[in-house]
Structure 1
Amino acid sequence: MPNDRLKATMASGGWTYAELAAQAGVDAKSVERWANLNRTPRLRAARLAADALGEDLFALWPSLRQPRTTRAVSPELVALYEQRADVPVSMFVNLLDRATRQVDVLVYAAVFLHEAYPRLNELLRERSAQGCTIRIAIGNPDSDAVGQRGGEEKFGHGIESRCRIARMHYRPLVGIPGIEIRMHGTTLYNSLYRADDQLLVNSHLWGMNAFSAPVWHLRRAPGGSLFDNYVSSFEAVWSTAEPVEAT
């Protein structure tokens, strides 16, 4: 099938194959194939030819129009919250309460959980008694990373104090089978709250407290990689963390 639009444009301007070929930097046989066999030229040659003809590039060769880039939403994304303060504590608690295999928590302190739900330690004991492996990584109050975060958030020594409070909250769990508490000194890019195949990610913003930063709720799904990437991040931090002692 010929390219009727190209042939008509060439005819109206009196263009020969050789003349248009010279303008487009190709041979005359190529232009003949464009016109009679509806072949699509390379983009550079098409632009030169269209400019010479005074015609719209995509009117002559619609197939050169690039499809609009679409943003794929991850199949693992369940919900996105503008800030952690929008997420009810009951959501954190319910996720942990339904866990049967694995609970992983990576934070600096997150004392809001114990403050809003005083039964948290009891819940974690119950989960471990049912065979759930529980790993909690909290910030080392003496680490450079924790001190720097306090300065960035203009919180002074507040974060260090909260890390110490978190250690106090979790210390009664030390030594319970299936539960391990560690302290880490890494830069906290995200706070992670994992319960089996679900994950709440509190993404941190420089200079802002965690409660003002967004949270996305992920659920592991075929074809997704976000969940596993965050799990790998947790494992990397966990491997550097030191156990919290019972005393």
Structure 2
Amino acid sequence: MFLFDNHPDLPNLLAEKAKAGAQVRILLGDPESEAVRQRDEEEGIGGDLAARARITRRYLEPATTTPGVEVRLHDTILYNSVYRFDDDVLVNPHVLGAPAGQNPVLHFRYLPGARAFRHYMRSFDYAWERGRPA
């Protein structure tokens, strides 16, 4: 949700990128899933994590009618948040009991032979394949 708070034009930007040929894939925790409920409990945020997932999905709605923008929900364990932009990936590891904003963000760049970038993208793809359309 923080992305929309800081970039309210993000849905339009995502739609423009998709129209220009980019593949935009957004994978959100299913607000009805046990994984979201458990993380919410561990972070002590009183049900607000599911609400944040629903709000984020609502913010994305203007972009979702654009071909090339796909949003899915998943119910896998929420180990980290992954944000990929071309050859860069930002990873926000979820430290048990701490909200995402209190945890570090790791920056990896794709380089031939480097493993970290591909490692996190395999993780994303694994959850993506198990997700369902939002």
> Shorter-chain TM-score: which interval?
over 0.9
State the match for 2:89 in structure 1: 199
Q: What's the TM-score once normalised by structure 1's chain length?
A: 0.53
Structure 1 vs Structure 2 CA RMSD: 0.9
Matched, 1:215 2:102: no
SS at match of 2:67: coil
Question: What's 1:157 paired with?
Answer: 47
SS in 2 for 1:168: helix
1:132 is aligned to 22
* 2:11 is the alignment partner of 1:141: no
Query: Do structure 1's residue 123 and structure 2's residue 13 form an aligned pair?
Result: yes
Spell out the pairing of 1:1-247 with structure 2 (5 A cutoff): 111-244=1-134
Query: How far 1:134 moved relative to its partner?
Result: 0.4
TM-score using structure 2 length? 0.96
Structure 2 stretches lacking a partner, 5+ long: none
**Which structure dedicates a bigger proportion of its chain to strand?**
2
Q: Structure 2 CA distance, aligned partners of 1:112 and 1:238? A: 21
Question: By how many angstroms is 1:222 displaced?
Answer: 2.5
Matched to 1:119, the amino acid is D
The DSSP-based 3-state class of the residue aligned with 2:25 is strand
Q: Distance in 2 between matches of 1:222 and 1:140?
A: 34
Give, as a single letter, the amino acid of the residue that structure 2 aligns with 1:185. D
CA deviation profile, 1:151-188 (whole Å, cap 9, x unmatched): 00001101011111011111222231111011111111
**Where does structure 1 differ by over 6 angstroms across 4 or more consecutive aligned residues?**
none
- In structure 2, distance between residues paired with 1:168 and 1:226: 32
Which one-letter code corresponds to 1:131 in the other structure?
G
